[in-house]
């Protein structure tokens, strides 16, 4: 198996050095577009055989050094009790929005084996198919990025409601972050148990924060996740 990626993660010198490139859900592959033309995005994420197939496409076609699980960062948000839709040209839509204590209290802590079994089934299929090829990377959205989608109800450029929540009700905002931190921990731990050999955590919107905001509202939760995962 090509383990260059895993050895690089552990600090070993490897040549060539593996690099990670952000991709937009395989849009550059006609093979992906063919499958995507037959099912909607969420169905693709929730059908293990299809999710495994599109995960394998870059490995088989491009010869990359690792496979990245095909899924979406908002899958746990749906499992926590929100309705998730993807609208063409608009992106993800989450409802209801979470902007107060009642909303935060309504969110449940997920049990990945019961709430997102399709993700774990996809991982098991992939580990079997990839055992003689390359490692498998799992991932999750980071708590803050998940929080922005829940608060805003989808994509935004202003993050008005997120900032307002942070400053007008910091205690409840941190309760939301704490709940999302627990969800992220259980979600990534379940992926590791299912067989992924590395995990990534995407904090897509952390860049909207000033350093002091990040250190106060975000860093403690990120650090808690990293500290726990070191023992997995």
Active-site residues, by number, are 23, 27, 36, 72, 149
Under a CB-based contact definition with an 8 Å cutoff, are residues 71 and 139 in contact?
yes
In a 10 Å sphere around its CB, with 0-12 CB exposed, 13-18 middle and 19+ buried, how is residue 213 labelled? middle
Cα 136 to Cα 156: distance, rounded to the nearest angstrom = 31
Residue 164 pairs in a beta bridge with: none
CA dihedral 205, 208, 209, 214 (to 10 degrees): 10
Q: Count CA atoms within 13 Å of residue 185 on its CB side.
A: 19
CA atoms within 13 A on the CB side of 154: 13
Q: Indicate the angle between helix axes 160-168 and 170-194, nearest 10 degrees.
A: 110
């Amino acid at each position: 198996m090509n383990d260059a990626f895993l050895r690089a993660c552990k600090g070993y010198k490897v040549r060539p050095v593996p690099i990670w490139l952000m991709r937009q859900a395989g849009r550059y592959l006609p093979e992906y577009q063919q499958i995507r033309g037959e099912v909607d995005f969420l169905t693709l994420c929730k059908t293990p055989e299809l999710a495994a197939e599109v995960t394998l496409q870059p490995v088989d076609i491009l010869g990359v050094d690792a496979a990245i699980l095909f899924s979406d960062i908002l899958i746990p948000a749906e499992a926590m009790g929100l309705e998730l839709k993807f609208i063409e040209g608009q992106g993800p839509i989450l409802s209801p929005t979470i902007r107060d204590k009642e909303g935060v209290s309504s969110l449940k802590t997920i049990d990945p084996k019961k709430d997102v079994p399709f993700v774990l089934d996809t991982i098991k299929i992939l580990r079997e198919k990839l055992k003689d090829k390359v490692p498998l990377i799992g991932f999750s959205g980071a708590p803050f990025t998940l929080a922005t989608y829940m608060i805003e109800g989808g994509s935004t450029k202003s993050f008005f409601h997120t900032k307002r929540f942070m400053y007008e009700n910091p205690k409840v905002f941190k309760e939301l972050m704490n709940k999302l931190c627990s969800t992220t921990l259980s979600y990534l731990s379940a992926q590791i148990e299912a067989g992924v050999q590395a995990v990534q955590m995407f904090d897509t919107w952390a860049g909207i924060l000033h350093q002091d905001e990040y250190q106060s509202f975000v860093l403690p939760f990120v650090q808690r996740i990293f500290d726990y995962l070191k023992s997995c």
